[in-house]
Amino acid sequence: MISISEPVTVLTDCLLGGCTLVWARRLHTAGETGWRTIRCWTGFYIATSSAAFVGGGAHGLAQILSRHVSVFLWIVIVGCVWLASSQFLKGLVHAFIPPRRLRPFIFISWTLPPAAGFAAALTGAPLFHAVVYGYLVSLSAGVWMIFSALRRRAPAAIWIIGGILFSFAAGFVQIGEIRVHARFNHNDLYHVIQTAAMYFLYRGGMLLSDAD
């Protein structure tokens, strides 16, 4: 019989992965054909879901996985989170930046998350903390686009700002290793708060469309 080493972490990972997969499907079917914004955010949700499910496996089977397999799974998780960060930014770029000005912002959306994570790793931050730093930098880069949308009263902006605030809270819980109970550690709390963040972002994403 397989022993699950961190059952609560596996459950909360599955909660995050399952919810984001459902929301990815709804985003995909809600957006009109050709909307780059919706395609990017669908990718954002699929990448997040993949990271959560693979993370659940890495945590739950940690006692029986070989070192090489464990390292491979964490490389996959890192790649998924960085892809999610880039797709999040790309979606906002397509939603709030006029097409004639897109090119430099698309480049930034692809390079900023891994660059920020790499810089954090160079300072000695643990691997997943560095990934979280990269994600938080991506959120920060999107804030100014959201506030420009607020000035135009974009209906998606309030939901997205709420999601960003929840994501920052989740990131600080993960980096600070904050726990509420001996059997509910910082990973578990991070997954629950991040699920709430993804719900807010999903509600905002359903209201997005490509900029004119």
**Residue 210 included in any domain:** no
Query: Are 117 and 138 contacting, i.e. CB atoms less than 8 angstroms apart?
Result: no
**Residue 62 included in any domain:** yes
Q: How many residues does the chain have?
A: 212
**Residue 158 included in any domain:** yes
For residue range 158-210, what is the model confidence (pLDDT) as tens digits?
899 899 999 989 988 988 888 888 788 989 999 999 999 999 999 999 988 88
Query: Are 39 and 88 contacting, i.e. CB atoms less than 8 angstroms apart?
Result: no
Of residues 164, 205, 192, the one with CA closest to residue 19: 192
Q: Spell out the per-residue pLDDT of the chain, length 212, in tens.
A: 566 778 899 999 999 999 999 999 999 988 665 688 999 999 999 999 999 999 999 988 878 888 899 889 988 998 898 899 899 989 988 888 888 887 887 887 787 777 777 777 777 767 667 777 777 777 777 777 777 666 665 778 889 989 999 998 998 898 888 888 878 898 999 999 999 999 999 999 998 888 77
**Residue 72 included in any domain:** yes
- Structurally, the chain folds into a number of domains equal to 1
Residue holding tokens 């963040």?
Answer: 197
Domain range for 51: 7-205
Beta-bridge partner residues of 184: 181
Helix (H) or strand (E) holding 78: helix 67-96
Mean pLDDT for the chain?
A: 85
